[in-house]
Amino acid sequence: MRFINFLLFFMLIIPAAYAQKGNVEVIADDRIDLLVEKHKYLNRHQAVLNGWRVQIFFDAGALSKRKATDAQHRFTARYPGIEAYLSFKEPYYRVRVGDFRTRIEAEGFLQKIKGDYPNSFAVSEMIFPPPLVRDRARSSDE
């Protein structure tokens, strides 16, 4: 029993004796701060990034370009503010919409348009980054 008390005493007292309070000085090369700032700048001004879009049209053959253009125009008329991108990858024309940072955002939008575009689906693609929207609840607390 005495040994256990002695052991517990040292287990509690020894760590407390080594606990120190004070300031920590970080000595680092100034170029590290320069690299961090450059990284932040490039991320803010990046032209494209990995993201998601919703594909609403896909076709090949005669008149497929006209059909794709019509689909793009109908979409932009129905959903103003959401970009629609027409692309051609031989032999297919396709129309993909939106610039979503995450798959969850793309799937959420997909659910909104599923009635108008029942064969649409989310695809991973390079996107133009949409502006970040601050959370209103968080910004009111700050």
Taking residue 58's Cβ as centre, other Cβ atoms within 10 Å add up to: 16
Nearest CA to 110 out of 49, 23, 45, 52 is that of: 52
**pLDDT at residue 14, as a whole number:** 65
Whether 78 is in a domain gets the answer: yes
Q: Which residue has the higher pLDDT, 16 or 116?
A: 116
Q: Residue 45 pLDDT more than 80?
A: no
pTM: 0.62
Contact 54, 122 (CB under 8 A): yes
CATH number, domain at 118?
3.30.70.1070
Contacts for 78-84: CB closer than 8 Å, 24+ residues apart: 78/116, 79/113, 82/109, 83/128, 84/56
Whether 64 is in a domain gets the answer: yes
**pLDDT at residue 39, as a whole number:** 80
Q: Residue 13 pLDDT more than 50?
A: yes
Mean pLDDT for the stretch of residues 80-92: 95
> In total, how many domains does the chain have?
1
Q: Which domain holds residue 119?
A: 49-127
Q: How far apart are CA 72 and CA 94, in angstroms?
A: 9
Tens digits of per-residue pLDDT, 99-123? 999 999 999 999 999 999 999 999 9
Whether 19 is in a domain gets the answer: no
Report H helices in 45-141: 64-78, 103-113, 136-141
**pLDDT at residue 49, as a whole number:** 84
Whether 118 is in a domain gets the answer: yes
Q: How far apart are CA 85 and CA 124, in angstroms?
A: 14
